[in-house]
Structure 1
Amino acid sequence: MNYLKILVALSLLVSLGVSAFADWPAWRGPNGNGIGSAENLPVEWTVDSNVSWKVKLPSWSGASPIVVGDKVFVVSPSKQEAPPPADPAPGRRGRRPAPPPGMGPGGQNIFLMCFSKKDGSLNWRSKLDEGNEIQFKQNMSSPSPVSDGERVWAVTGNGIVSSVNMKGKVLWQYDLQKSHWKLGLQAGYASSPILFEDKLIIQVLHGMHTDDPSYLLALDKKTGKKLWYLERETDAIHESPDAYTTPALSKTKDGIQLVILGGDYVTGHEPDTGREIWRAGGLNPQKARNYRIVPSPVAIDGMIYAPTRKKPLLALRAGGKGDVTESHLVWKYEKPAGSPDVPTPICDGKYFYMIEDFGQVTCLDAKMGNVIWGPETTGLGRVSSSPVLADGKIYITSEDSEIAVIQAGPKFKLLGKNELDGSFTLSTPAVSGNQLFIRTGEYLYSISEG
């Protein structure tokens, strides 16, 4: 067999493996864009129908489930000692902190939990950290884990990075606050780590409660050894340096680039060294003091989308060098209606979907930026999780664990709206095979037809 045939055979094996197992190994899936290859996903369910299993969780968390092989992983605090954010006061929408920010204990320990994908039985749980507390709407377990199929890595809101094998043994830990700086975000640390080759990449973008620099960090995923560290410059002020975003990876003609959003800029970096290649401004044109960013960058099909605090939303051509603020700007969306403040948008390369914080959905042409439809209402309350797209459907989850299902494509159609247990829900669903995994404030659910 010649070299070309070997390559073809290997590529077929790889694609068969991806199709067969359909892992969801990180926040927003295998490519970090919220799109999955799952099929035959349900449109309607209740707590009694189309729920293949559910398991009670110790406490609520913003961390999303990930799926690797026959295992589902979630990060959770131990049994809560204080309630999650309370229902809104009369005349207001969305939950608010209770007790006051930073003062409420939320269960002392933080665990990585491993469940059977088949029936939800608990395989093991491993302690990662302690000292959990509530900060605004989240606690110290908000970052989602990531896996390469052999190990799982997780970061807590206290800055403890852990590597855990598939049997639950903690292999190494790295303390961000002892090794670098104290975390200084207004609402607690929540960025999820990502993997690139042999590197675990972590961002810390902060400034509200610290004068220490924001930075990017790469650790050897096997040993925890620091491979590179880069201080990320910003002239953002007050709360605007804070970002709760997660890095993205962008494919360009020059190779894979690391995309970081926050502190009034979106920047591109070499993932092997951290070196900054390009940066774009224009995210906070008025230089507001409170322009923290929650939704993450989206990188797909040669484009990079940078959401901000409501507006503007910038679409950039991937790549470039130096200041690309003007040279690589493709379009800008500045209408307040439909723009996200918390949920990360989702894009398949053709259509760009934005979920506004109270469940309104707008669809734009991904290449041109013109409105195709919307804003359309889903009837949901406040939304703090991000949408996922699979099987031609988009799943949107509210803070009250209601899930709207809409049809993906050039015409808006609400396919279904489903209730679960009504508990405080922040995490983004995962999809794998024909199963939808939803983590509410009380339970982890597996939803499937039949």
Structure 2
Amino acid sequence: MKALLATALLSLFIAAPTYAGNWPGWRGPNSNGVAEGSGYPVEWDSSKNILWEVKFPGPSGSTPVIWGDDLFLTTNSEGKNRVICLDKNTGKEKWHTDFGTERAGKHKKGSGSSPSPAVDDQFIFGYFKSGDLACLTKEGKIVWQKNLQKEYGEDTLWWDLGTSPVLTDNLVVIACIQSDNSYIAAFDKATGKEVWKQSRNLDAPKEANQSYTTPVVAKQNGKEIIYVLGADHVTAHDAQNGKEIWRVGGLNPTQHEYFRSISSPVISDGYLIAPYARGGSLTGIKLGGQGDVTKSNVVWTKEGEGKGAFSDVPTPAAINGRFYVCSDKGEVLCFDIKTGKQIWEGRLPRSRHKFSASPILADGHIYVTREDGTTMVVEQGDEFKLVSENPLEGMALATPVFSDGKIYLKMTDKLYCLGNK
């Protein structure tokens, strides 16, 4: 009897939800689209599993971030750039801080606040299309601010700035890959002082030299490295000084014009996956080396049947030797990260709406949110299996955020908190 009771208690313990709270950047705690913890809801609608919802000034396409009990989001209001802090448990606003002048979006899905914020244990960093970059305390006080376009030159992107800031141990880093004067710049988190600025002008055709991707910071042998995708190349940079360590070219072998890049790279298991060619290609790159490692480090390349076969806007997610892609039209694909071999493929329910949000892997499921606010949940297993289809009202461009068993789903003008109840 005691043995049976012990077994039952152990089973309950194993099945119990585990929680992990911080979500410091738009791709999660490890920048790979993977949520920590378990117990997240897999079903909801307007009358089920909504814990709270709040509206905010919009439109805003950025993804929120979380540290502790604070949720931070960026938007624009009354012609200003705004950072808002909410209590993640109640949705109640704690404070908001305005700075700089809003620069409105051009595209129908664009806005002045497409870049997502970044947060660590001390500061919150907001970056906007206007070029304004600011560091705030957790109480909303501006520590420092600067306008990168006034300091380094005007934005020459054809569309709306979407690159988000990323953090190293000591620096906040911005990549600006555009028609000319492309660079990566790093600033001291506490003071805003420029620590280094590295030119990144590479030979790429018209508009292919423009990138809306966000860099990835990862450690290799204890050393922080910044990986940047854009202008037909992937480059790896030493986080301490910005110097290029290696590069991979050949992402646009036909020198096609207009191959601007939106989907960002993802790193897992010693490999970097580079989506490119407006969703027409995927490239698997082994990390390491020096100089031009195109021939030695490109392990595999997959060419889709035309543009959009893979991912143009959503960024892949990766873990445990596999990576997952959601195409703009709702094809979900699973690949082996080391070989590029396709493991399975499935089609989400058809709709005239596309996908801009990136997939998140959580507790054995894949969460993918369509622009009409509907989130599909798919199993991560060895075959495609749709678990649920969950509609909500709103336009969804931001990627879902997972924290302490709850999902935070941001529309362009409102935020939902979802949880099992």
TM-score by length of 2: 0.92
Per-residue deviation at 1:249?
Answer: 2.0
Per-residue deviation at 1:302?
Answer: 0.5
| CA 43–338 in structure 1, closer or farther in 2 if over 3 Å, else same | farther
Residue correspondences, number: 399
Match of 2:389 in 1: 417
Deviations 1:393-432 (A, max 9, x none): 11111111111111112111111111111x2221111101
Aligned residue for 1:267, secondary structure, equals strand
Aligned residue for 2:133, secondary structure, equals strand
1:240 aligns to 2:208 (yes or no): yes
1:367 aligns to 2:338 (yes or no): yes
Deviations 1:215-262 (A, max 9, x none): 000000000000000101310121111100000123334733110000
AA matched with 2:292: D
Match of 1:162 in 2: 134
Aligned residue for 1:240, secondary structure, equals coil
| CA 355–174 in structure 1, closer or farther in 2 if over 3 Å, else same | same
1:114 aligns to 2:113 (yes or no): no
1:352 aligns to 2:352 (yes or no): no
Match of 2:14 in 1: none
Per-residue deviation at 1:264?
Answer: 0.7
Ranges in structure 2 where 5+ consecutive residues have no aligned partner: 1-17
1:257 aligns to 2:225 (yes or no): yes
1:394 aligns to 2:363 (yes or no): no
AA matched with 1:448: G
AA matched with 1:325: T
Aligned residue for 1:162, secondary structure, equals strand
Q: 1:196 aligns with which of 165, 168, 172?
A: 168
Query: Contact 2:19–2:403 at 8 Å: present in 1 too?
Result: no
Aligned residue for 2:149, secondary structure, equals helix
| CA 114–254 in structure 1, closer or farther in 2 if over 3 Å, else same | closer
Q: How does 1:251-400 map to 2 (within 5 A)?
A: 251-253=219-221, 255-308=223-276, 309-336=278-305, 338-379=309-350, 381-400=353-372
Query: Contact 2:165–2:173 at 8 Å: present in 1 too?
Result: yes
1:180 aligns to 2:152 (yes or no): yes
AA matched with 1:65: P
Aligned residue for 1:30, secondary structure, equals coil
Distance 1:391 1:445 in 2: 20
Q: Which runs of 4+ in 1 moved over 3 A?
A: none
AA matched with 2:282: L
Match of 1:69 in 2: 68
1:218 aligns to 2:186 (yes or no): yes
Distance 2:354 2:49 in 1: 25
Per-residue deviation at 1:36?
Answer: 1.1
Aligned residue for 2:279, secondary structure, equals coil
Per-residue deviation at 1:441?
Answer: 2.1
Per-residue deviation at 1:20?
Answer: 5.8
Aligned residue for 2:43, secondary structure, equals coil
Query: Contact 1:351–1:409 at 8 Å: present in 2 too?
Result: no
| CA 293–358 in structure 1, closer or farther in 2 if over 3 Å, else same | same
Query: Contact 2:226–2:237 at 8 Å: present in 1 too?
Result: yes
Per-residue deviation at 1:311?
Answer: 2.3
Per-residue deviation at 1:338?
Answer: 4.0
Query: Contact 1:217–1:228 at 8 Å: present in 2 too?
Result: yes
Q: 1:145 aligns with which of 110, 117, 122?
A: 117
Deviations 1:194-220 (A, max 9, x none): 11011001100001xxxx310000000
Distance 1:175 1:154 in 2: 11
Match of 2:404 in 1: 433
Match of 2:197 in 1: 229
Aligned residue for 2:372, secondary structure, equals coil
Distance 2:231 2:75 in 1: 29
Distance 1:206 1:243 in 2: 6
AA matched with 1:134: G
RMSD: 1.4
Distance 1:409 1:338 in 2: 22
Match of 2:22 in 1: 23
Match of 1:6 in 2: none
Query: Contact 1:295–1:344 at 8 Å: present in 2 too?
Result: yes
Query: Contact 1:363–1:371 at 8 Å: present in 2 too?
Result: yes
1:41 aligns to 2:40 (yes or no): yes
Distance 2:100 2:359 in 1: 29
Query: Contact 1:157–1:190 at 8 Å: present in 2 too?
Result: yes
Distance 1:317 1:256 in 2: 16
Distance 1:388 1:379 in 2: 20
AA matched with 2:375: I
Aligned residue for 1:327, secondary structure, equals helix
